[in-house]
Amino acid sequence: MTTRIVDSADVSPEATVGDGSSVWHLAQVREGAVLGKGCVIGRGAYVGTGVRLGDHCKVQNYALVYEPAELADGVFVGPAAVLTNDTFPRAINPDGSLKSASDWDAVGVTIGQGASIGARAVCVAPVTVGPWATVAAGAVVTRDVPAYSLVVGVPARQVGWVGRAGHPLEQTTTPGEWRCPTSGTLYHEHRGTLTMEGDD
């Protein structure tokens, strides 16, 4: 696999870019960041210091992934989405002096395998988005998102379940059983937790 970093991208020599990854125009990958194999960093995207991406992640155009975020394999971050890192943001201290890096503690967003963050969504750190969950476009996530859940709105709230194919699941006639409309894969819900058949 060929790694591609275009001339206008700003990739720190202290960053690690995995085999087959692409970093496109005007994107910035900061020092200490780690991109796994086959990642795509879109135009104008920002990957902060020490951020870690697993294999086959996509960070779309103008998305901002601030340190110390951690993304597992196969995570999708949509255009202009933001993963924040400051719970109590201020530009200045109470005495009026400009804040420096030593004046606050960065907290990160954690995203599980295969999860998707929609365009212009905001994940307010510290939150965890579970594996295979979907955050709808424009949502604002202020609390943890369970695996396979579909969340929408401001603040984000769960409105259903999604399967690994990304489509909303349909409830079958069996209580607690859900089916993917595209693959036919069955999922089982128990006390607010969803698992794929064969994994539970």
In tens, the pLDDT along 181-191 reads 999 999 999 99
**Any residues with CB less than 8 A from the CB of 7 and at least 6 apart, and which?**
none
Looking at domain 1-90+106-162, which of 2.160.10.10, 3.40.50.150, 3.40.640.10, 2.30.130.40 is its CATH number? 2.160.10.10
119 with 104: CB under 8 angstroms?
A: no
How many residues would you count in the chain? 200
pLDDT band at residue 101 under the 50/70/90 scheme: confident
What are the boundaries of each domain within the chain? Answer: 1-90+106-162, 163-200
Closest listed residue to residue 59, CA positions, set 32, 35, 89: 35
The per-residue pLDDT for 103 is: 82
The per-residue pLDDT for 200 is: 53
The per-residue pLDDT for 104 is: 81
* 115-161 confidence digits (pLDDT tens): 999 999 999 999 999 999 999 999 999 999 999 999 999 999 999 99
- Distance between CA 86 and CA 190 in Å, rounded? 34
Q: What is the pTM of this model?
A: 0.95
* 42-76 confidence digits (pLDDT tens): 999 999 999 999 999 999 999 999 999 999 999 99
Tokens standing for residue 151? 């969340």
Q: Which amino acid is at 130?
A: G
User: Mean pLDDT over residues 6-31, rounded?
Assistant: 98
What average pLDDT does the chain have?
Answer: 96
The per-residue pLDDT for 68 is: 96
DSSP-derived secondary structure for 11-47: E-TTSEE-TT-EE-TT-EE-TT-EE-TT-EE-TT-EE
The answer, yes or no, to whether residue 7 has pLDDT greater than 60, is yes
How many C-beta atoms surround the C-beta of residue 134 within 10 A? 27
Q: Which amino acid is at 186?
A: L
The owner of tokens 């990739």 is: 11
- Distance between CA 59 and CA 78 in Å, rounded? 6
